[in-house]
C-alpha cells in the first residue's frame, strides 16, 4: 500500500490570502501543502495592473510573494490540482484525496514557448479575459508560477507538432490524472471569490456589444502585458476617448441574487479611471455610481484626487445600454440627484463587476459540512474573537472566502487564519 504523505496544514487556494497563510505557517516551521486549482498560484491579484490607493504595481508586489511561496522549503505546492473527500477523524487528524490533473507537459519545460509558436489551434486566452487568442499548448501567462506550458487537451488537434519541436522533450501525452491520499492536521480554506458574470444583466449588452467590457478586462488592458498594443476598443481597435464606468454591476442588486456591496469596485474603478487618464491623456472618463464607498485609509483622498484630475462622477443608476452602428454606446441612466432619466453617449463602457462567493468549499468535505453565511461565503462562527474560525474545529478561513475584501484586508485575514491554525496545532485554539 502506498503511504499517504503527511503535512501539518493544508491550504486550499493559492491566491494572495492562501500564499500569506502558507508562508506564515511555513516560517514558523510547519509543513504546508498548498493546493491550487488553477495552472499558476497568484489568484486574481497576479492579473491586476496597479493597486488602490497607492497605485503600486500589482505584479511587483505579488511576484516576490509568489516566488517566496514557491521556493519555501516547508511548502509543497500542487497547481492544477484539487482536494476532495476531506474527512475529519479526530482533532489534528484529517485525511483528503489529492487530485493532480495532467498538464501533458513535464517539469523539464523551460517555458521557451517554441511549441506555442508551432501549435495550429487558436482559442480564447482566459488569462486575457478572452480579448485575444492563445494556442492549445501554452504558457499560461508571463509571470505564471510555475512558468511551464500546459496542453488544453479539449482544444488539441493531436497534430503532434509540439512534441516534435520541444527542445526539452517536455511534452508527455501519456500523463493521466493522479490520485493520492494525504494526511493533515489542520486546514485553511482560501478559495477566494468568483467574478460576477455580466451576462446575467442582459440590458447592459455584455457579450453582444463588444465595446462593453468588464473591469477585469480593463485591468488587463492597463498592464504592460496587455492583450492589445494600447488600451483599445475590442470591436475595432479604436483608441477610446470617452469611457464610462458603471458601478455596482451585479452588486447591491437583489434581482441578480447579490444584495451586498462588493467593497472593491468603487475604489478599483477610481484607480482604473486615474490610470486611463495617464494612458490616454485626451480621454474623458465618467463614473456612474449609486454611492462611492471610500471607507479605507486614504480612500477618500484617492477619490478626491480622481475628481481633481477631471474624472466626472455622476450619481446615476444605469438602466439600459444600447449600441450605435459605429460601436458607440448609449447609456440610459436615472440621474439620482435630479430624479429624471437621461442619456449619454460613450465609446467604451466598463462594467465594474462585483465579487461573488466561490462555493467550492461546500463540496470538498466528506463527513462534515462547512457552514455558509447568509450570502454563501464561509461562515465565521466567532467573528469577533476568532475571525478565521469555521464551524469545524481545525478548519480555518482566509481572504475573500469569508466575504468581499480588498488585498490588504485579505492579507490581514490570512494572518488571523495562520495564527489561529498555529494555535490549534499547538493544542490551543479550536
Identify which of residues 92 and 155 has a Cβ nearer to ligand SF4 in the complex. 155
Q: What are phi and psi of 110, to 5 degrees?
A: -100, 0
Cα(430)–Cα(304) distance, integer angstroms: 44
- Give the residue, chosen from 112, 143, 156, 330, that forms a contact with other proteins under the rule CB under 8 A: 156
Q: CB of 275 within 8 A of CB of 309?
A: no
* 110 contact, one of ligand FAD, other proteins, ligand SF4, none, CB 5-8 Å limit per kind: ligand SF4
Q: Contacting ligand SF4 (CB under 6 A), which of 64, 133, 160, 298?
A: 160
Binding status of residue 144 toward ligand SF4 by CB under 6 A = no
**Least Å distance between CB 90 and ligand SF4?**
44
CA-CA distance, 101 to 42, in Å (whole number)?
18
For other proteins, the closer CB: 102 or 296: 102
The yes or no reply on residue 39 touching ligand SF4 (CB under 6 A) is no
Write each residue from 202 to 231 as x if it is in contact with other proteins (CB under 8 A), else as -, in one continuous string.
--------x----------------xxxx-
CA 414 to CA 19: how far, in whole Å? Answer: 8
Q: Is 16 in the site for ligand FAD (CB under 6 A)?
A: yes
Q: Give the count of alpha carbons within 13 A of 170, CB side only.
A: 22
Residue 108 CB, shortest distance to ligand SF4, in Å, is: 7
Q: How far apart are CA 39 and CA 76, in angstroms?
A: 15
Contact of 79 with 38, CB cutoff 8 Å: yes
Nearest distance, CB of residue 340 and ligand FAD, angstroms: 31
Q: Which of 342, 322, 324, 326 is nearest to 334 (CA)?
A: 342
With cell 475571525, the residue in question is: 387
CB atoms within 10 A of CB 253: 17
Report the site for ligand SF4 in 272-311 (rule: CB under 6 A).
none
> What x/- string results for residues 43 through 82 when contact with ligand FAD is judged by CB under 6 A?
xxx--x--xx-----------------------------x
For residue 46, give the nearest of 145, 190, 125 by alpha carbon.
145
Asked if 112 touches ligand SF4 (CB under 6 A), the answer is yes
The answer to whether the beta carbons of residues 233 and 210 sit under 8 Å apart is: yes
> Given its phi and psi angles, is residue 129 left (phi above 0), alpha (psi -120 to 50 degrees) or beta?
left
Q: Is residue 221 at the binding interface for ligand FAD, with CB under 6 A as the rule? A: no
Would you say 228 or 375 has its CB closer to other proteins? Answer: 228
Give CA–CA dist 144/103, Å, rounded.
14
Cβ-based nearer residue to ligand FAD, 110 or 359: 359
Of other proteins, ligand FAD, ligand SF4, none, which one does residue 237 interact with (CB within 5 to 8 Å by kind)? Answer: other proteins
Q: Is residue 195 within 8 Å of residue 216, measured between CB atoms?
A: yes
Q: Does 105 bind ligand SF4 (CB under 6 A)?
A: yes
CA 249/CA 272 separation, integer angstroms: 16
Distance CA 422, CA 27 (A): 11
Q: What grid cell was written down for 100?
A: 493532480
- What's the min distance (Å) between Cβ of 134 and ligand SF4? 11
Shortest Å distance, C-beta 109 to other proteins:
14
Return the C-alpha cell found at 218: 480593463
Instruction: Report 358-387 residues binding ligand FAD (CB under 6 A).
Output: 358, 360
Choice between 160 and 298, CB closer to ligand FAD: 298
Q: Least distance to ligand FAD from the beta carbon of 341, Å?
A: 28
Distance CA 152, CA 158 (A): 11
**Strand partners of residue 379:** none
209 strand-pairing partners: 206
- Judged by beta carbon distances under 5 to 8 A according to partner kind, the member of ligand FAD, other proteins, ligand SF4, none in contact with residue 296 is none
119 binds ligand SF4 (CB under 6 A): yes
Is residue 19 within a helix (H) or strand (E), and if so which, with residue range? helix 16-27
Please give the residue ranges that form the binding site for ligand FAD (CB under 6 A).
12-18, 35-38, 43-45, 48, 51-52, 82, 190-193, 195, 215-216, 219, 264, 268, 271, 358, 360, 399-400, 405-408, 410
Instruction: List interacting residues with other proteins (CB under 8 A).
Output: 104, 116-117, 120-123, 131-133, 136, 153-158, 160, 163-164, 171-174, 210, 227-230, 232, 234-239, 241, 282
Residues at the contact surface with ligand SF4, assessed by CB under 6 A: 105, 109-115, 118-121, 136-137, 139, 149, 151, 156-162, 166, 168, 170-171
Amino acid at each position: 500500500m502506498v503511504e499517504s504523505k503527511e503535512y501539518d496544514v493544508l491550504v486550499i487556494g493559492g491566491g494572495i490570502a492562501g500564499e500569506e497563510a502558507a508562508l506564515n505557517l511555513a516560517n514558523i516551521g510547519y509543513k504546508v501543502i498548498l493546493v491550487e486549482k488553477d495552472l499558476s498560484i497568484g489568484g486574481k491579484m497576479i492579473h491586476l495592473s496597479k493597486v488602490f490607493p497607492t497605485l503600486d504595481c500589482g505584479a511587483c508586489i505579488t511576484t516576490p510573494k509568489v516566488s517566496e511561496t514557491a521556493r519555501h522549503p516547508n511548502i509543497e505546492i500542487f497547481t492544477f490540482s484539487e482536494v476532495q473527500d476531506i474527512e475529519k477523524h479526530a482533532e489534528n487528524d484529517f485525511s483528503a484525496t489529492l487530485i493532480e490533473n495532467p498538464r501533458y507537459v513535464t517539469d523539464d519545460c523551460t517555458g521557451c514557448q517554441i511549441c506555442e509558436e508551432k501549435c495550429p489551434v487558436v482559442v480564447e486566452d482566459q488569462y486575457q479575459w478572452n480579448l485575444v487568442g492563445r494556442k492549445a499548448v501554452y504558457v499560461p501567462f508571463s509571470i505564471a508560477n510555475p512558468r511551464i506550458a500546459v496542453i488544453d487537451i479539449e482544444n488539441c488537434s493531436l497534430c503532434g507538432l509540439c512534441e516534435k519541436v520541444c527542445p526539452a522533450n517536455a511534452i508527455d501525452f501519456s500523463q493521466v490524472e493522479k490520485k493520492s491520499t494525504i494526511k493533515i492536521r489542520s486546514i485553511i480554506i482560501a478559495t477566494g471569490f468568483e467574478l460576477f458574470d455580466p451576462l446575467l444583466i442582459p440590458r447592459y449588452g455584455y457579450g453582444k456589444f463588444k465595446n462593453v467590457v468588464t473591469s477585469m478586462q480593463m485591468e488587463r488592458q492597463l498592464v504592460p502585458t496587455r492583450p492589445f498594443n494600447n488600451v483599445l476598443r475590442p470591436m475595432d481597435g479604436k483608441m477610446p476617448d470617452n469611457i464610462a464606468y458603471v458601478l455596482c454591476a451585479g452588486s447591491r442588486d437583489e434581482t441578480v441574487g447579490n444584495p451586498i456591496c462588493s467593497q472593491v469596485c468603487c475604489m478599483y474603478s477610481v484607480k482604473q479611471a486615474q490610470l486611463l487618464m495617464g494612458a490616454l491623456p485626451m480621454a474623458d472618463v465618467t463614473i456612474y455610481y449609486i454611492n462611492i464607498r471610500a471607507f479605507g485609509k486614504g480612500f477618500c483622498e484617492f477619490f478626491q484626487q480622481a475628481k481633481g484630475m477631471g474624472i466626472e462622477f455622476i450619481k446615476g443608476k444605469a438602466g439600459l445600454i444600447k449600441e450605435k452602428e459605429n460601436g458607440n454606446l448609449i447609456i440610459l441612466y436615472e440621474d439620482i440627484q435630479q430624479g429624471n432619466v437621461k442619456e449619454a453617449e460613450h465609446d467604451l463602457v466598463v462594467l465594474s463587476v462585483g465579487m461573488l462567493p466561490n462555493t467550492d468549499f461546500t463540496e470538498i468535505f466528506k463527513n462534515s459540512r462547512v457552514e455558509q453565511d447568509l450570502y454563501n461565503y464561509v461562515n465565521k462562527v466567532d467573528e469577533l474573537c476568532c475571525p478565521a474560525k469555521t464551524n469545524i474545529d481545525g478548519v480555518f478561513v482566509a481572504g475573500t472566502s469569508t466575504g468581499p475584501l480588498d488585498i490588504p484586508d485579505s492579507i490581514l485575514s490570512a494572518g488571523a487564519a495562520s495564527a489561529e491554525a498555529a494555535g490549534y496545532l499547538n493544542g490551543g485554539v479550536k
